Amino acid sequence: MALAVGGEYRHAALTRDHLVAEIEEWGLRAASDLVDGALHHMREVLAVEVPAPSVREQMHDRIRLFTDNLLAGRMAGCGSAA
């Protein structure tokens, strides 16, 4: 990450809590609801979106893994794409 998110610079170590903390720092209300809504929306899009042929084969799976990890309260980079 070029900038810290909720105090964390390493993408793999980011958690849902880091995202919430960052949004709260911006002064937005209901940060937790905003993060959860965005992550659930991302999961819905991933379920129906077909990657363009130019996209690396594993990219879609990696984004799904990161999203699922964040929704489960784990670090984004925890585990590996199937």
How does pLDDT run across 34-81, given as a tens digit for each residue? 999 999 999 999 999 888 888 887 888 999 999 999 999 999 998 765
Contact 19, 70 (CB under 8 A): yes
From the CB of residue 70, how many other CB atoms can be counted at a distance below 10 Å? 24
pLDDT at 57: 76
Q: Which sequence spans correspond to the domains of the chain? A: 11-71
Q: What is the pTM of this model?
A: 0.84
How does pLDDT run across 2-37, given as a tens digit for each residue? 688 999 989 899 999 999 999 999 999 999 999 999
User: Which phi and psi (to 5°) does residue 2 adopt?
Assistant: -75, -30
Q: How far apart are the first and last CA of the chain?
A: 24
Contact 68, 42 (CB under 8 A): no
In angstroms, rounded to a whole number, what is the distance separating the alpha carbons of residues 54 and 70?
26
pLDDT at 75: 96
8: which strand partners?
5
pLDDT at 81: 55
